[in-house]
Amino acid sequence: MMGAFRMVPFMGALADSSLPSTLLQVAVIHHRTAASLSPPPLLSTRRVFLTSLPMSTVLLTFAAPPLLLAAPPLPTYDPVTSSERDASSVLQRRVAEAVELLDKGREFQAKGEFSNALECFSQVATNYKDFAFSDYARVGRALALYELGDRDEAIIEMEDVSISLKGYPEVHAALAAALYADKHAPLLAENQFTIATLMDARYTDLSYVRDTKHWPPSLVASLQRFITLS
């Protein structure tokens, strides 16, 4: 093939030379034959490239584009089991019931209906004692017991709650009043009242415990005796 291309610059020279006509004819025929057998450079390159690829690649290149199928949805993962969900529902229901009883007891206390208040507070303290806020129901229960005449039980309840709710001013002020008026223990009463007033100085005001905290009349009177040392 290279020989054929080398003959091209000499074609004119061969035509004018004194070579025999037979040799000239042979040269021309050889040149034409080589030119007809050589493909164009671009076509030859493309053909060589295609024949060098694997057959699977060639088929994929000229095949129709594949259809894109939608992937199936991934299964959703719920970290909460059905038993945990049921337990959470039960817990939420119990909390709602306890809070409702606590609010109802405070409403009865504000109205002066201490028997009804005692019932509501007792239910919270007994049936929902696994909740921390049940101690606040015990404070209300102690105040109701004090008004209804069971003062020893009321003081026992106050002393117990003053430990679990240490620093809660209402229980310390109520205990101070009861210890002074009923147990004749002025020093213990003074200690409890100091804790109460350090946390909330309003417990020195009788109108506050009567009108805002809705203490029963008997406990307000005992607090007055302690404040006036009468």
- Select from 105, 133, 122 the least CA-distant residue to 216: 105
What is the count of structural domains for the chain?
Answer: 2
pLDDT tens digits for range 6-50: 444 444 444 444 444 544 454 444 445 544 545 555 444 544 444
Q: Which residue has the higher pLDDT, 206 or 55?
A: 206
Predicted pLDDT of residue 171: 98
Whether 129 maps to a domain, the answer reads yes
Q: Which residue has the higher pLDDT, 5 or 92?
A: 92
Q: Which residue has the higher pLDDT, 211 or 72?
A: 211
Residue 20: domain span: 2-58
How confident is the model over 144-150, as a mean pLDDT?
Answer: 97
Whether 142 maps to a domain, the answer reads yes
Q: CB-based burial of residue 176 (10 Å sphere; 0-12 exposed, 13-18 middle, 19+ buried)?
A: buried
Same domain? 114 vs 224: yes
pLDDT band at 80 (very low <50, low <70, confident <90, very high): confident
230-199-128 Cα angle (round to 5):
100
Predicted pLDDT of residue 52: 52
Q: How many residues does the chain have?
A: 230
Residue 128 backbone phi and psi in degrees, to 5 = -130, 35
Whether 70 maps to a domain, the answer reads no
Predicted pLDDT of residue 74: 73
Whether 79 maps to a domain, the answer reads no
Same domain? 155 vs 49: no
Same domain? 27 vs 130: no
Q: Which residue has the higher pLDDT, 45 or 119?
A: 119
Predicted pLDDT of residue 73: 77
pLDDT band at 94 (very low <50, low <70, confident <90, very high): very high
Quick check: 193 pLDDT over 80? yes
Q: Does this model's pTM top 0.75? A: no
Whether 113 maps to a domain, the answer reads yes
